[in-house]
Amino acid sequence: MRDSFNRIAAMTARYGYLLRSSWIRLAEVIYWPTMQMLVWGFLYTYLYTSDSKIANTAGPLLGAVLLWDVLFRGQLGFTFTFLEEVWSRNIANLMMSPLTSGELAVSLMGVSFIRMLIGTLPVTLLVTVLFAFNIYTLGLPLIAFFLNLVLTSWALGLVLCGLVTRYGLGAETYAWSVMILLLPLCCVYYPVWVLPFWLQPLAWSLAPTYVFEGMRAVLLDGSFRADLMIEALALNIFYLVGGFGVFLWLLQNARHRGLLLAMGE
């Protein structure tokens, strides 16, 4: 157990060295969420001041943007940290070391969490200062939203890392594009009933849908839907176990095909 903890700490330190080695890299983590938030923040200001009917939608909109970023940055942080290993042709070194796949996954989760905090926390403060929208007024439900989105981002990250291991850098593009597929289905900016009837079951099979519905319930009705959060958590546990299973399966597949040694070339 102690050995395992030391190896996870070593990998976390390794990613810490990497972030510290380049301020451009660190700035990039903050840059995108900040730019996105500025655009949506100005839209929020416009909506809030222009018409009393749509003013009500301004808060959920900005909340949705912030929470979507948690999901998006969490997944990117996870996947790109793994891709760093592939780009630097270091995967074989790691796979030959006593580091287990589980320890690698845990260290990627830890780093994804840190990267996401670095990218998101300053933005929430910026939004409070510039647009007077304080997401922390959501209170304790925010922790439930945050936790569920982070878990989903890790499950997705595991599957994407498995795909990169099995299919090489050709699968790298999915690190970006898979979230675009989820964006309309998770009902980030609108309620689930807006979707066509046949798409709604698919939306409800995605844990983030429950989070965004829950957020709207808090911001529009002032009620916290604990049932939605529990359902999201159950789905996320299923996703995480499934995601890790897929990661292990694709890794073993890559081992059978002799892909690990030449990975990154």
Partner 1 sequence: MYHMAKSALEGAVQSQLPPPVIKEEFAPAIAVEDLCKNYSGHWAVDEVNFVVPRGWTIGLLGGNGAGKTTTIAMIMGLVVPSYGRAVVLGHDMARDRRKVLKRMNFESPYVALPARLTVRQNLTVFGRLYGVPNVAARIEELAYDFAFSEILDHATGTLSAGQKTRVSIAKALINKPEVLLLDEPTASLDPDRAEWVRANLQRYQLEHGATILLSSHNMLEVEQMCDFVVIMSFGRVVEMGFPRELAARHSCETLNEVFIQLARREEELLD
Which residue ranges make up the site for partner 1 (CB under 8 A)? 3, 6-7, 9-11, 13-14, 17-18, 21-22, 84-85, 88-100, 252, 255-258, 260-262, 265
Taking the complex as a whole, the smallest distance from the CB of residue 246 to partner 1 amounts, in Å, to 18
Taking the complex as a whole, the smallest distance from the CB of residue 50 to partner 1 amounts, in Å, to 48
Taking the complex as a whole, the smallest distance from the CB of residue 262 to partner 1 amounts, in Å, to 6
HEC sequence for the chain: CHHHHHHHHHHHHHHHHHHHHCHHHHHHHHHHHHHHHHHHHHHHHHHHHHCHHHHHHHHHHHHHHHHHHHHHHHHHHHHHHHHHHHHCCCHHHHHHCCCCHHHHHHHHHHHHHHHHHHHHHHHHHHHHHHHCCCHHHHCCHHHHHHHHHHHHHHHHHHHHHHHHHHHHHHHHHHHHHHHHHHHHHCCCCCCHHHCCHHHHHHHHCCHHHHHHHHHHHHHHHCCCCHHHHHHHHHHHHHHHHHHHHHHHHHHHHHHHCCCCCCCCC
Rounded CA separation 250/243 (Å): 11
Residue 225 has φ and ψ, to the nearest 5°, of -90, 90
Q: Which is nearer to partner 1, 66 or 95 (CB)?
A: 95
Q: Which is nearer to partner 1, 104 or 206 (CB)?
A: 104
Taking the complex as a whole, the smallest distance from the CB of residue 5 to partner 1 amounts, in Å, to 11
Rounded CA separation 98/91 (Å): 13
Q: Which is nearer to partner 1, 107 or 209 (CB)?
A: 107
Q: Which is nearer to partner 1, 95 or 138 (CB)?
A: 95
Taking the complex as a whole, the smallest distance from the CB of residue 120 to partner 1 amounts, in Å, to 24
| Residue 7 burial (CB count, 10 A) | 18
Q: Which is nearer to partner 1, 50 or 88 (CB)?
A: 88
Taking the complex as a whole, the smallest distance from the CB of residue 63 to partner 1 amounts, in Å, to 36
Taking the complex as a whole, the smallest distance from the CB of residue 254 to partner 1 amounts, in Å, to 9
The answer to whether residues 166 and 248 touch, using CB atoms and an 8 Å cutoff, is: no
Q: Which is nearer to partner 1, 104 or 182 (CB)?
A: 104
Q: Which is nearer to partner 1, 84 or 231 (CB)?
A: 84
